[in-house]
């Protein structure tokens, strides 16, 4: 059974990679014949095992958008675990029992419920007593089985996680450094608790099971290990674990510890669980902790060092972050000399002063942090002026956290970061304007607001004299500005840097308001929150931005130097020839260079191209109309026409439709 499920996981991965290459990148990594062969193998395995894995190409999980996540109480409270940092304590705690030692995952705990073999419900841990229902989002996780062979009532717990490689990839796609995620756990939590399951699907969230709560009628032979192994037969990936006794546990802990630095899943320690189910449950629980398991936290390697000074780092949002600079020390195999102090509240709690003797460590063996201040001279003064522009600073309190901000809206630090986002690839996409070049132009007084970037050619004589610039560089810049001046509303909105409005948010707004900027900028918070994927925080940020008259003026100036090109979704779709048509494309093409070109042609005329054939599909385009491919089979089953490229163009092109209308 386990081998079959392992093969299914491999097939899902291979088929999805092939599908992505085929539909999104206009390239083929396998023939249609090979794809259909693997697809049929997966279908057969799903029937044999009774398991359908999340992401299986045989399924189409619909995306769901909610206005708010509903709350639900857990049947039994989800308690935290007691903790220790001592290996000897683990040995004493285990005694003569056999235990299971596993990673303590640093993600978001989720409770899954299956009824009649189907995923019925997914709820976050929440406060331990009440969680948030995220069932639609869980169905988009990379590896959660949507159906399982077991038909009884099943409840299990596990951790939703985003791996370090995926975390790095997602952050690398965000041009604005200030908008990047701080750690995988925060990214995972935000991804899982999205109101739009489509956004969750894009984040590559995994689920690792770590506790079976209920499985009616299954004999686990009084063993937690048997539960883990049984879950694997149902298609679940479980947390990695090892069997241990008091004699072997120290060596196994050491083995786990050696792997921390290279383990791709965020972990902040280990969990020791008693294998004997009945014995563990007989121990009961305290008010805070169950007694059948205990957590082991890595004992952080700390070093004493001397605090040299606090560096104040300004950001695009105006936030000024304190950073501790200290004499270099070796920690976990690397040399460190800096650590974030996060905010004024943390700075004050450590009572920091220059020359203080501090202890530092790496949180989760990765991120340098201050552990303690042994001297506590409390001599660090909070700057009254911004380190970049010299304007007055102010301390603002949000919740119970005090942070320092620059009050100058024209602060150069804000400008450089804002302009850097504005010229980035997904925004106006202006080649040749690096952050360093922008800094030079701002310092020279050439750029004060976004529109000034397109007036740079007026400063030709000065620019060609600058270090690193010459006639050729200037001409390249001028050409880049000419290209960028013809842009889209989506790029413009993203480039404005409105708090929280990323590329996806900009697309949602443009699509909803059909590209009408005047209507968009006057939209109320309530109107905005009715849009799929726009929550209260984003709505408030949008309203706040357009409520500032200076922002409105800057955008007006910008619109005078830009040509906003109409996009398919910004036009009146009902007046387009393919409005309302849902089309699937497969196979090689003859008239168009590739599927992407045909897709753009269809979308420009109001149609929509999807990957899978469903009841909503208008037609399937396949030059091999007699093919026995899975898509052709599906289309025939649903009574959907399979058209060749020529037949499609004859039936749906603007010319043919015009002829028919003229004839009428």
Query: How confident is the model over 38-76, as pLDDT tens digits?
Result: 888 898 898 899 998 877 888 755 455 454 678 888 887
Considering only residues 251 and 37, tell me which one the structure prediction assigns the higher pLDDT: 251
Locate tokens 């600058």: which residue? 466
- The percent of residues above 90 in pLDDT, for the chain, comes to 38
Q: What is the mean pLDDT of residues 354-358?
A: 95
Residue 664 has what pLDDT? 31
What single DSSP character describes residue 494? H
CB atoms closer than 10 angstroms to residue 34: 13
Does residue 452 register a pLDDT over 70? yes
pLDDT-derived band at 319 (thresholds 50, 70, 90) equals: confident
Taking the whole predicted model, whether its pTM rises above 0.95 is answered as no
| Strands 154-161 and 241-244, sheet pairing | unpaired
Cα 255 to Cα 331: distance, rounded to the nearest angstrom: 19
pLDDT-derived band at 23 (thresholds 50, 70, 90) equals: very low
| Beta carbons of 121 and 170 less than 8 angstroms apart | no
Considering only residues 569 and 584, tell me which one the structure prediction assigns the higher pLDDT: 584
In 188-292, beta strands by DSSP E: 206-215, 241-244, 267-274
**Burial bucket for residue 16 (CB in 10 Å: 0-12, 13-18, 19+):** middle
Instruction: State which H helix or E strand residue 71 sits in.
Output: strand 71-73
Residue 657 has what pLDDT? 36
pLDDT-derived band at 135 (thresholds 50, 70, 90) equals: very high
Task: Give the distance from CA 437 to its chain's centroid.
Answer: 31
Sign of the C-alpha dihedral computed for residues 544, 549, 554 and 555 taken in this order: positive
Question: What Cα–Cα distance (Å) separates residue 58 from each residue in 39, 40, 616?
Answer: 8, 9, 17
Does residue 405 register a pLDDT over 60? yes
Q: What is the mean pLDDT of residues 554-576?
A: 73
Give the lowest-confidence range in 51-65, 272-286, 431-445, 647-661: 647-661
Q: What is the mean pLDDT of residues 392-411?
A: 84
Residue 104 annotated in active site: yes
Beta bridge partners of 347: none
Q: What is the mean pLDDT of residues 562-573?
A: 63
Estimate the crossing angle of helix 435-443 against helix 412-422, to 10 degrees: 130
Q: What angle do CA 536, 55, 645 make, to 5 degrees?
A: 100
Tens digits of per-residue pLDDT, 538-555? 888 899 999 999 899 999
Residue 20 has what pLDDT? 67
| Beta carbons of 276 and 97 less than 8 angstroms apart | yes
pLDDT-derived band at 177 (thresholds 50, 70, 90) equals: low
Q: Residue 575: helix, strand or coil by DSSP?
A: helix
Tens digits of per-residue pLDDT, 188-225? 888 888 877 888 888 899 999 999 999 989 999 999 99
Q: Residue 385: helix, strand or coil by DSSP?
A: strand
Q: What is the mean pLDDT of residues 237-247?
A: 96
pLDDT-derived band at 659 (thresholds 50, 70, 90) equals: very low
Considering only residues 426 and 333, tell me which one the structure prediction assigns the higher pLDDT: 426
Nearest to 388 by CA among 309, 325, 443, 453: 443
Q: Residue 165: helix, strand or coil by DSSP?
A: helix
Phi-psi region of 234 (alpha: psi -120 to 50; beta: other; left: phi over 0): alpha
Instruction: State which H helix or E strand residue 108 sits in.
Output: strand 108-115
Does residue 398 register a pLDDT over 80? no
| Beta carbons of 153 and 115 less than 8 angstroms apart | yes
Does residue 606 register a pLDDT over 70? no
Which residues does 579 contact at the CB level (< 8 Å), separation at least 6? 573, 606, 607
Half-sphere exposure of 598 (CA within 13 A, CB side): 28
Does residue 271 register a pLDDT over 90? yes
Question: What Cα–Cα distance (Å) separates residue 662 from each residue in 109, 650, 658?
Answer: 63, 16, 6
Instruction: State which H helix or E strand residue 648 sits in.
Output: helix 645-652
Nearest to 589 by CA among 638, 630, 654, 648: 648
Residue 540 has what pLDDT? 87
| Strands 357-363 and 145-147, sheet pairing | unpaired
Q: Residue 119: helix, strand or coil by DSSP?
A: strand
Residue 604 has what pLDDT? 66
- The percent of residues above 70 in pLDDT, for the chain, comes to 88
Nearest to 612 by CA among 136, 59, 197: 59
Cα 434 to Cα 424: distance, rounded to the nearest angstrom: 9
Find the catalytic residue in 4, 20, 83, 104: 104
Locate tokens 């009824």: which residue? 115
Rg (CA), the chain: 29
Question: What Cα–Cα distance (Å) separates residue 631 from each residue in 614, 634, 640?
Answer: 10, 5, 10
Does residue 139 register a pLDDT over 90? yes
Which residues does 541 contact at the CB level (< 8 Å), separation at least 6? 498, 499, 500, 501
Residue 608 has what pLDDT? 73
Average model confidence (pLDDT) across the chain: 84
Residue 576 has what pLDDT? 64
**Burial bucket for residue 490 (CB in 10 Å: 0-12, 13-18, 19+):** buried
Number of helical H runs and strand E runs in the chain: 26, 26
Q: Residue 559: helix, strand or coil by DSSP?
A: helix
CB atoms closer than 10 angstroms to residue 557: 15
Residue 67 has what pLDDT? 44
């Amino acid at each position: 059974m386990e081998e079959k499920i392992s093969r299914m996981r491999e097939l899902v991965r291979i088929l999805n990679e092939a599908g992505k290459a085929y539909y999104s990148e206009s390239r083929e990594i396998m023939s249609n014949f090979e794809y259909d062969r693997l697809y049929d193998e997966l279908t057969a395995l799903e029937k044999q095992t009774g398991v359908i894995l999340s992401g299986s190409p045989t399924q189409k999980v619909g995306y769901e958008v909610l206005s708010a996540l509903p709350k639900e109480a857990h049947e039994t409270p989800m308690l935290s675990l007691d903790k220790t940092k001592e290996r000897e304590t683990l040995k004493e705690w285990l005694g003569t029992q056999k235990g299971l030692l596993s990673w303590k995952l640093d993600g978001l705990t989720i409770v899954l419920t299956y009824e009649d073999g189907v995923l019925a419900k997914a709820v976050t841990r929440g406060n331990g007593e009440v969680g948030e229902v995220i069932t639609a989002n869980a169905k988009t996780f990379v590896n959660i089985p949507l159906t399982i062979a077991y038909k009884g009532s099943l409840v299990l717990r596990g951790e939703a996680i985003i791996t370090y490689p995926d975390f790095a990839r997602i952050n690398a796609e965000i041009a604005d450094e200030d908008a990047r995620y701080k750690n995988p756990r925060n990214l995972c939590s935000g991804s899982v608790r999205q109101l739009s399951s489509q956004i969750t699907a894009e984040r590559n969230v995994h689920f690792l099971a770590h506790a079976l709560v209920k499985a009616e009628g299954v004999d686990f032979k009084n063993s937690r290990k048997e539960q883990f192994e049984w879950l694997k037969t149902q298609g679940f990936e479980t947390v990695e674990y090892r069997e241990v006794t008091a004699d072997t546990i120290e060596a196994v802990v050491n083995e786990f510890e050696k792997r921390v630095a290279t383990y791709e899943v965020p972990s902040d320690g280990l969990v020791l669980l008693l294998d004997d189910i009945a014995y563990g449950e007989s121990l009961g629980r305290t008010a805070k902790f169950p007694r059948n398991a205990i957590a082991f936290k890595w004992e952080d390697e700390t070093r004493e060092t001397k605090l040299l000074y606090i560096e104040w780092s300004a950001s695009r949002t105006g936030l000024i972050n304190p950073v501790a600079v200290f004499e270099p020390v070796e920690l976990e195999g690397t040399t460190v000399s800096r650590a974030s102090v996060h905010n004024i509240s943390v700075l004050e709690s450590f009572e920091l002063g220059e020359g203080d003797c501090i202890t530092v460590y790496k949180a989760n063996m990765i991120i340098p942090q201050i552990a303690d201040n042994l001297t506590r001279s409390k001599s660090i003064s909070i700057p009254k002026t911004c380190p970049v522009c010299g304007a007055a600073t102010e301390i603002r309190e949000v919740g119970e956290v005090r942070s320092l901000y620059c009050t100058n809206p024209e602060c150069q630090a804000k400008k450089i970061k804002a302009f850097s986002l504005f010229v980035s690839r997904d925004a106006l996409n202006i080649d040749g304007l690096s952050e360093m070049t922008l800094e030079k132009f701002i310092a020279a007084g050439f750029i004060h607001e976004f529109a000034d970037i397109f007036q740079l050619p007026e400063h030709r004589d000065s620019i060609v004299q600058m270090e690193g610039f010459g006639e050729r560089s200037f001409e390249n810049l001028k050409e880049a500005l000419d290209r960028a001046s013809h842009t889209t509303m989506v790029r413009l909105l993203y480039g404005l840097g409105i708090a929280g409005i990323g590329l996806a948010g900009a697309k949602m707004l443009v699509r909803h308001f059909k590209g009408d900027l005047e209507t968009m900028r006057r939209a109320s918070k309530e109107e905005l929150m009715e849009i799929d994927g726009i929550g209260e925080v984003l709505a408030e940020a949008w309203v706040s931005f357009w409520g500032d008259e200076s922002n409105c003026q800057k955008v007006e100036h910008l619109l005078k130097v830009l040509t906003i090109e109409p996009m398919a979704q910004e036009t009146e779709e009902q007046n387009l020839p393919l409005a309302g048509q849902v089309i699937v494309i497969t196979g090689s093409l003859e008239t168009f260079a590739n599927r992407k070109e045909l897709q753009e042609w269809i979308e420009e005329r109001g149609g929509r191209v999807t990957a899978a054939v469903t009841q909503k599909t208008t037609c399937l385009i396949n030059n091999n109309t007699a093919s026995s491919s899975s898509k052709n089979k599906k289309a025939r089953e649903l009574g959907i026409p399979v058209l060749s490229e020529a037949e499609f163009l004859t039936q749906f092109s603007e010319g043919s439709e015009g002829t028919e209308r003229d004839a009428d």
